[in-house]
Structure 1
Amino acid sequence: MTIRAVAFSKCRCGKERGYDDERVAAKALGRAQAKRDRAGARKGTRRGLCRENRFYQCDYGMWHLTSQSRTEYLGAAG
């Protein structure tokens, strides 16, 4: 079994992982969620694990993963 990584690059906004398009970010989100779920299953609980919920586009046009929900973001932004 080989694990294929999702290609990312450093974004000009300062975040380490930036994805070029929405499709690649969606794929990375799915992989990150699966990784967190497997880690929680090994541990016996997902308590305390940070889990990415969505992706967003930054001002520089790249896509990033975040654990912040859209409701939390809109509350913080508004």
Structure 2
Amino acid sequence: MANSPQARKRARQAENRRQHNAAMRSMVRTYLKKVNAAIASGDQGSAQEAYNQAVSVLDKATRKGKFHPNKAARHKSRLNTKIKAMAA
């Protein structure tokens, strides 16, 4: 357990960061689910709109270091491929 004042403060900061990071990851997952739901519904317009929102949230989380840039790119690429396939 943290005994020094510095260690207690670091423990508080770590807990706050953990909660914030978890909230950011959860928000990104929610937006990705919305895109997948829109794709499953078959409406390309709503899927594209949901995709644009998800990309914004995903890029923001990536800039803040919550996700590796390659993981974000992989998600965006796969979702975009699914949306493009709807038009064909």
TM exceeding 0.5: no
Structure number with higher strand proportion = 1
Structure number with higher helix proportion = 2
Structure 2 length-normalised TM = 0.38
Which one has the largest radius of gyration?
Answer: 2
Structure 1 length-normalised TM = 0.41
